[in-house]
Structure 1
Amino acid sequence: MLTKGDDYPIHQTPEPIAYAGSDRNFYDRYFFNGYSPDGRDFFAVAFGVYPALNVADAHLSVIRGGKQYCLHASRVLGMERMDLTVGPIRIEILEPLQKLRVVVEGAEGLAADLVFEGRAFPIEEPRFVKRLGPRLFMDYTRLTQNVRVSGWLEVDGERREVAGWTGSRDRSWGIRPVGAPDPQPTPGAGLTGFFWQWTPVNFQDRSVFFHVNADPDGQAWNTRAVILPDGAGEGGGWHAEAARMEDVELIPGTRHARSGTLKIPLAQGEATVKLEPVTTFLMRGIGYGGDWRHGALKGDLAVAREDIDLASVDMGAMENFHIQAISRATFEAPGEAPQEGVGVFEQLILGPYRPYALG
Structure 2
Amino acid sequence: MLTKGDDYPIHQTPEPIAYAGSDRNFYDRYFFNAYAPDGSAFMAAAFGVYPALNVADAHVAIVKDGKEYCLHASRVLGMERMDISVGPIAIDILEPLQRLKLTVTKSEGIAGEVVFEGRSFPIEEPRFVRRVGPRLFMDYTRLTQNVRVSGWLEVDGQRLELNGWVGTRDRSWGIRPVGAADPQPTPGAGIPQFFWQWTPVNFADRSVFFHINADADGKPWNTRAVILPDGAGPDGGHHTEAATMETELIPGTKHAKSGKLTIPMDQGAATMTLEPMATFLMRGIGYGGDWRHGALKGELAVAREDLDCENFDQNDMGNLHIQAISKATLSVPGQADQQGVGVFEQLILGPYRPLGF
TM-score, scaled relative to structure 1: 0.99
The residue type equivalent to 1:90 in the other structure is A
What are the superposed Cα offsets for residues 282-332 of structure 1, whole Å, 9 maximum, x if unpaired?
000000000000000000000000001223311121110000001000000
Name the aligned partner's letter for residue 254 of structure 1. T
Question: How far apart, CA to CA, are the structure 2 residues paired with 1:205 and 1:65?
Answer: 29
Find the counterpart in structure 1 of residue 110 from structure 2: 110
Secondary structure in 2 matching 1:266: coil
* 1:129 is the counterpart of 2:147: no
Which deviations, in whole Å up to 9, do the C-alpha atoms of 1:150-192 show, x marking residues without a partner? 0001000111110100000000000000000112222112453
The residue that corresponds to 2:339 in the other structure is: 340
> Counterpart of 2:166?
166
**Cα distance 1:54–1:286, how it changes in 2: closer, same or farther (>3 A)?**
same
Map 1:100-249 onto structure 2 (within 5 A). Answer: 100-246=100-246, 248-249=247-248
Q: CA deviation at 1:37?
A: 0.4
Match of 2:281 in 1: 282
Q: Matched residues in 2 for 1:323 and 1:307: separation?
A: 16
Give the deviation of 1:60 after TM superposition. Answer: 0.2
Q: Quote the Cα distance in structure 2 between the aligned partners of 1:106 and 1:191.
A: 44
The structural deviation recorded for 1:193 is 1.1
Please state whether the residue corresponding to 2:264 is helix, strand or coil: strand
Alpha-carbon distance, 1:218 to partner: 0.3
DSSP 3-state at the match of 2:91: strand
Give the match's secondary structure for 2:284: helix
Partners in 1 of 2:190 and 2:291 — Cα distance? 24
How far apart in 2 are the matches of 1:132 and 1:32?
A: 29
1:46 to 1:191, Cα distance in 2 relative to 1, 3 A: farther
Distance 2:269 2:322 in 1: 28
**What letter is aligned with 2:217?**
D
CA RMSD, 1 decimal: 0.7
Q: Deviations over 1:57-84 (max 9, x none)?
A: 0000000111000000000000000000
Counterpart of 2:310, as a letter, is A
* Residue deviations 1:115-156 (CA, integer Å, cap 9, x gap): 000000000000000001110000000000000000001000
Q: Distance in 1 between matches of 2:341 and 2:237?
A: 19
Q: Which amino acid aligns with 1:265?
A: P
Structure 1 residues 339, 191: CA separation in 2 closer, same or farther (over 3 Å shift)? Answer: same
| Amino acid in structure 2 at the alignment position of 1:155 | V
Percent sequence identity over matched residues?
Answer: 76
Aligned to 1:322: 321
CA contact (8 A) 1:132 1:191 kept: no
Equivalent residues of 2:325, 2:341 under 8 A apart: yes
Please give the alpha-carbon distance, in whole angstroms, between the structure 1 residues aligned to 2:185 and 2:345: 29
1:356 aligns with 2:355: yes
| Alignment partner of 1:39 is 2:39 | yes
Asked if the contact 1:218–1:354 (Cα under 8 Å) also holds between the matched residues in 2, the reply is yes
Alpha-carbon contact 2:279-2:323 (below 8 Å) kept:
yes
Work out the CA distance in 2 between the residues paired with 1:88 and 1:134: 41
Which aligned runs of 4 or more in structure 1 are off by greater than 6 angstroms? none
Equivalent positions of 1:11-22 (< 5 A) are: 11-22=11-22
Q: Which moved more, 1:189-198 or 1:80-89?
A: 189-198
Q: Which residue of 1 aligns with 2:263?
A: 264
SS of structure 2 residue aligned to 1:91: strand
Conserved? CA contact 2:117–2:147, under 8 Å = yes
The answer to whether the 8 Å contact 2:279/2:310 transfers is no
The residue identity in structure 2 corresponding to 1:32 is F
Shift of 1:253: 2.4
Instruction: For 2:64, give the aligned amino acid.
Output: R
On the 8 A contact 2:55/2:74 being kept in 1, the answer is yes
Quote the residue 2:5 is aligned against.
5
> What amino acid is the match of 1:172?
S
Contact 1:48–1:56 (8 Å) recurs in 2:
yes
Q: Say if 2:60 and 2:285, in contact at 8 Å, map to a contact too.
A: yes
TM-score using structure 2 length = 0.99
Letter in 2 for 1:283: M
1:87 and 1:303 in contact (8 A); partners too: yes
Does the aligned pair in 2 maintain the 1:137–1:177 contact within 8 Å? yes
Query: Are the counterparts in 2 of residues 34 and 166 from structure 1 also a CA contact under 8 Å?
Result: yes
Check conservation: 1:192, 1:216, Cα contact below 8 A: no
SS of the counterpart of 1:268?
coil
> 1:58 maps to what in 2?
58
* 1:254 counterpart residue number: 253
Looking at structure 1, the residues matched to 321 and 105 of structure 2 have their Cα atoms a distance apart, in angstroms, of 28
Q: Give the Cα separation in 2 of the matches to 1:230 and 1:37.
A: 17
